[in-house]
């Protein structure tokens, strides 16, 4: 495990964007796993800016998003499919047919989850997975209690996650209570994992995930088993880590 601590959230996002650009540069047909939510917005902004400045080509990429709300179609403005189009895909030269998000409007969520799992395998797995970390240490929508060998599946969202995501829905909108998410076991099969966490609100989740031991009560703790994982933090998110854990890993 490599931990990188940056002075600010902006600096941490820039570092992660550089890692993605490096991956694309060395393998133009990379398969990437991508998150949504507030944490990666700075990363996607950096990628858009880099593309406008002639850096990075997305033409041959394949992407798989971590999750999607059940009950929302890809055309719904609150869907993660719409989020990706607004924040990244609509601004770069990516082939939309090679961008994959679970179909939240599928009639049978479990069948859709199985299809998505098989599709990831058909593409040879994911080269680099970018993750955020929830305040309760969830990864994707794998909430506390999720088995570390879990696969893509239908899940119920905890109240804390619903509360955290409520800001992304307009007043009066009905917020979905379930989602389709890649499982922790699916995530751990990715060849490289990069985790971005910023802000004081993530400090407890970061410490619980990094210090271990692995526990189903702390989904993020499963990641310490991975052979190639980099965790990028700002100083606020790293506040509860011991100095000895981070002093030689700062950049």
Active site amino acids = 67, 136, 138, 143
Q: Token pair 């109240």 is at which residue? A: 159
What are the residues whose beta carbons fall under 8 Å from the beta carbon of 231, sequence distance 6 or more? 1, 2, 3, 4, 194, 195, 197, 206, 210, 223
3-class SS string, 69-136: ECCCCCCCCCCHHHHHHHHCHHHCCCCHHHEECCCCCCCCHHHHHHHHHHHHHHCCCCCEEEECCCCC
CA distances in angstroms from 59 to 40, 63, 242, listed in the order given: 21, 11, 42
- CA dist 49 and 172 (Å) reads 34
- CA dist 221 and 204 (Å) reads 12
Neighbours of 33 (CB within 10 A): 25
The b/e string for 18-32 (b: 16+ C-beta within 10 A; e otherwise) is ebbbebbeeeeebbb
Q: What spatial distance separates the first Cα and last Cα of the chain, rounded to whole Å? A: 15
- CA dist 233 and 229 (Å) reads 13
CB-facing half-sphere around the CA of 197: CA atoms within 13 A: 29
């Amino acid at each position: 495990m490599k931990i990188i601590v940056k002075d600010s959230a902006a600096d941490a996002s820039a570092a992660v964007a550089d890692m993605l650009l490096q991956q694309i540069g060395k393998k133009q047909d990379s398969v990437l796993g991508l998150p949504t939510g507030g944490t990666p917005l700075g990363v996607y902004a950096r990628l858009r800016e880099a593309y406008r400045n002639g850096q990075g080509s997305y033409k041959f990429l394949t992407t798989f998003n971590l999750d999607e709300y059940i009950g929302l179609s890809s055309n719904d403005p609150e869907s993660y499919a719409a989020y990706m189009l607004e924040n990244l895909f609509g601004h770069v030269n990516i082939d939309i047919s090679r961008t994959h998000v679970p179909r939240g409007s599928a009639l049978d969520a479990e069948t859709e989850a199985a299809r998505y799992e098989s599709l990831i395998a058909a593409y040879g797995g994911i080269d680099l997975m970018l993750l955020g970390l929830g305040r309760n240490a969830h990864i994707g929508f794998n909430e506390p209690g999720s088995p570390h060998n879990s696969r893509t599946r239908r899940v119920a969202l905890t109240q804390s996650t619903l509360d955290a995501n409520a800001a992304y829905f307009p007043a009066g909108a009905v917020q979905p209570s379930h989602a389709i998410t890649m499982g922790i076991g699916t995530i751990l099969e990715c060849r490289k994992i990069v985790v971005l966490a910023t802000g004081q609100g993530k400090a407890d989740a970061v410490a619980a995930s990094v210090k271990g031991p692995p526990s189903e009560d702390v989904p993020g703790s499963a990641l310490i088993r991975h052979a190639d994982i980099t965790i990028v933090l700002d100083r606020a998110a790293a506040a509860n880590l011991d100095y000895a854990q981070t002093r030689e890993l700062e950049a």
